[in-house]
Structure 1
Amino acid sequence: MKTIRKLIYGEVLMATGFVLVAFLALFFFFDFVDELASIGRPSRLDPSIIYGLRHALVYVTLLIPSRVYELAPISVLIGTVTVMARLAQSSEYTILRTSGLGPWKALRTLMGLGLVFVAFTFAVGDYLAPAASKAAQLYKASYQGKLSLGQTGAWLKEKQAYSNFSVNVGSLSPSGEIGEVRVFEFDNQGMLVSTLQADKGQIENDSSWTLFKVTRREFDVAGQQSAKIVRSQHDTFHWPSALSAEMVSVALLKPDRMRTTDLYAYIQHLEANGQTAQRYEIEFWRKLFYPLSCLVMVVLALPFAYLHFRSGGITGYVFGGVMIGISFFLLNNVFNYIGNLNQWQPWLAAASPAIIYSIVSLGAFGWLVLRR
């Protein structure tokens, strides 16, 4: 059995690696083509800084770990289908079956390999990809301008002892400087107490913000006759806050590019401040379930070893594996959006594609392997 595992594992690992490298080369080309429009543009902060070809190559290279995470299940499926179909075509799998490799032993063997792919995908998606993706965005921002979410910026909320704050941050520079900051202060009855607008600021290590070129408006509504607005200007303003630089960067980054622990901490912050966390909860559960899809893919590929044909190529079967992998990728994204729009349970929206394909794979295994 050890020899059989060594044979199958070696073949599947080699085929999966080849497919993954091919996909990465293709997506590297696509990402680089997307960057061509940005090459030659001067920075919005310093016109003397030009975003060149070398910078685009570095940026696209830093996106590779994220692509590895996204393409891992598809590559596992195509690689395993290729190996299983080739073994069936050359009658090698028939020899393995007569040597004692029954259906359940084959399933356990492939599931053992699938767990290796699960661990690899989780490690890349939770450690390497978030760090590389954040570095890529900050690297590009250092040549093109600040990291932002467009005109709306990022919204955060914070509850303090006697006030509630809604904070809008327009941009974040690679050095950690925040820009276009707006702070709205409300009392415990929901009345607007003050507003604050700053051109830029810096988040300190002692849980406070230092804001520059600040315009502050205080609303005195103690009495209807004496209601007034007090306007003041400050070159520097010190605002005590528990919102850290990490929370601001998390709000400006896409949820799928965050670590699981960062997602969980940010979800807790949103819930503590009365904000909806549906989008981030779905992405949290998706990051937990997505690596398990590698296990589903190897089970789905096993029935291809029991197909009976002696002549002709295996191109059609490999193409079928490609289409199954693409359909899983699309369904995974579709359920993500549908779950967010229809307010599904986050774990259900994230797990639905894996559950559907698990049922299909086990059904194919039962019908084609056990019955036939």
Structure 2
Amino acid sequence: MGIFDRYLAGQLLVYFGFFSLVLVAVYWVNRALGLFDRLIAGGSNVLTFIEFTALALPNVIAVVLPVSALVATLYGINRLAADSEMVVAQTTGLSPWRLARPVLVFGLAVGLMVAVLGHILVPASRTALAERGAELSQDITSRFLKEGEFLHPGTGVTVYVREITPKGELLGLFLQDRRSPAVRTSYTAERALLVRADDGTRLVMFDGMAQSVQTADRTLVTTTFDDFAYDLAGLAGGGDGTRRRDPRELSTLALLRADAAAQRATGDDVAKLRYEGNARFSEALFAFALPLLALGFLMLGNYSRLGLWRQILGAVVAAVVLKMLGNVAETSARGDATLWWLTYVPPLLTLALGAGLVWHDTRGIGGLRRGAAA
């Protein structure tokens, strides 16, 4: 790479890093607020919140990087043009394709980042996040260990504990189960313990009473007991302990093969699995093509003292339209396994449009070169 190539690529990478940090921070704060409310309300601590947000960051970064690449290219080229640095470079005889070389290098770097995230980091983080979420949902203890508060560890279930001893005993327990439409049961106990077993967690109550009301005829049945075990598996999601995996947790090879094992693990058909696998390649290609698209638009039009705002607007609109086209391709590819190739149409169109605009500038005097003439 020449001096100008290193300079321009370096400038674009600096702007890219700045905009990535800003966009990731904004996106992360927006999602973290809801996550914080859910975890803290469920009895989790701040360390759990930090763990969950850290595991969610790779997916956030993968979404933000293509946008940051587009914004960084538009801002960087526009600033170089405003400071006449781009005009000076063109007057020295650098062709549009020569100017596009550092932009392509920058796009290649962004594309590799998106590829690493999509193929390695995002699947691993999603798997860890899902497993950690399953562990947290099974940890009923944290939902009960609050004194003097009415808690709702599950839909239709209310729990109140008067006091918790240093040994973990729950004193003055009240539990109401309204999950069944036919009967509503309220349990009271002098003390209780949370006991972990191989098949789940149980609440063992001592010296208590159960009051069951039949909703049909309002019949009340009262039962006293010395000890009673209440199964908490239903509050944690129940089931046989297995969970359906998100397709984005699987490796790219498993998604492309879309065999019976992958279909059983996710519950999705071949079309959806193959789309997810090919989407990881297409997203990296789209991120690689966006900087070239931005450069192509910025080199269009006549020189204006008002700047390149029209070209910038055109690049943004084109990127949005191409992204919407990607959504249309996604709908078709997820519905028919033979249409997986549609996943690559939007990024290839982006690359072709950017290359076509740069080629168009080689046939005449482009906007930035007209600035030199002026």
| TM-score, length of structure 2 as denominator length | 0.61
Q: Report the Cα offset of residue 60 of structure 1.
A: 1.9
- 1:39 alignment counterpart: 39
**How far apart, in 2, do the equivalents of 1:323 and 1:22 lie?**
22
**How far apart, in 1, do the equivalents of 2:102 and 2:109 lie?**
11
* Aligned positions of 1:216-365 closer than 5 A: 252-264=244-256, 266-267=258-259, 269=261, 276-306=269-299, 308-309=302-303, 311-312=305-306, 318=312, 321-341=315-335, 343=336, 345-365=338-358
**How far apart, in 2, do the equivalents of 1:16 and 1:351 lie?**
25
DSSP 3-state at the match of 1:253: coil
- 1:214 alignment counterpart: none
**How far apart, in 2, do the equivalents of 1:270 and 1:129 lie?**
18
Q: Report the Cα offset of residue 324 of structure 1.
A: 4.3
Q: Report the Cα offset of residue 17 of structure 1.
A: 1.1
- Using the aligned pairs only, state the percent identity: 20
**How far apart, in 2, do the equivalents of 1:133 and 1:270 lie?**
16
| Change in CA separation of 1:144 and 1:365 when aligned onto 2, cut-off 3 Å | same
Match of 1:370 among 363, 370, 373: 363
The one-character-per-residue Cα deviations of 1:239-289 (angstroms, maximum 9, x if unpaired) are: xxxxxx9xx76xx2322343313323544646899x941100111111122
* Aligned positions of 1:110-121 closer than 5 A: 110-121=103-114
- 1:87 alignment counterpart: 80
**How far apart, in 2, do the equivalents of 1:356 and 1:121 lie?**
19
**Contact 2:258 / 2:274 at 8 angstroms: preserved in 1?**
no
Q: Which amino acid aligns with 1:311?
A: R
**How far apart, in 1, do the equivalents of 2:270 and 2:319 lie?**
29
* Aligned positions of 1:97-246 closer than 5 A: 97-145=90-138
The one-character-per-residue Cα deviations of 1:321-346 (angstroms, maximum 9, x if unpaired) are: 555444444433342123223x2634
- 1:70 alignment counterpart: 63
**How far apart, in 2, do the equivalents of 1:264 and 1:256 lie?**
12
- Structure 2 gaps of 5+ residues are 140-197, 201-240, 366-374
Number of residues of Structure 1 aligned to a counterpart in Structure 2: 264
**How far apart, in 1, do the equivalents of 2:67 and 2:323 lie?**
8
Q: Report the Cα offset of residue 369 of structure 1.
A: 5.0
DSSP 3-state at the match of 1:345: helix
Q: Report the Cα offset of residue 83 of structure 1.
A: 1.0
Q: Report the Cα offset of residue 112 of structure 1.
A: 2.6
User: Which deviates the most, 68-77 or 360-369?
Assistant: 360-369
| Change in CA separation of 1:56 and 1:346 when aligned onto 2, cut-off 3 Å | farther
| Change in CA separation of 1:305 and 1:320 when aligned onto 2, cut-off 3 Å | closer
**How far apart, in 1, do the equivalents of 2:351 and 2:15 lie?**
22
Q: Report the Cα offset of residue 360 of structure 1.
A: 2.6
**How far apart, in 1, do the equivalents of 2:114 and 2:349 lie?**
20
**Contact 1:78 / 1:321 at 8 angstroms: preserved in 2?**
no
**Contact 1:84 / 1:305 at 8 angstroms: preserved in 2?**
yes
**How far apart, in 2, do the equivalents of 1:316 and 1:30 lie?**
31
Q: Report the Cα offset of residue 27 of structure 1.
A: 1.0
Match of 1:56 among 49, 61, 73: 49
| TM-score, length of structure 1 as denominator length | 0.62
Q: Report the Cα offset of residue 123 of structure 1.
A: 1.1
DSSP 3-state at the match of 1:63: helix
- Structure 1 gaps of 5+ residues are 43-49, 147-198, 202-244
| Change in CA separation of 1:283 and 1:84 when aligned onto 2, cut-off 3 Å | same
Q: Report the Cα offset of residue 93 of structure 1.
A: 0.8
Q: Report the Cα offset of residue 297 of structure 1.
A: 0.7
- 1:171 alignment counterpart: none
Q: Which amino acid aligns with 2:6?
A: K
User: Which deviates the most, 360-369 or 7-16?
Assistant: 360-369
**Contact 2:252 / 2:277 at 8 angstroms: preserved in 1?**
yes
DSSP 3-state at the match of 1:101: coil
**Contact 1:88 / 1:94 at 8 angstroms: preserved in 2?**
yes
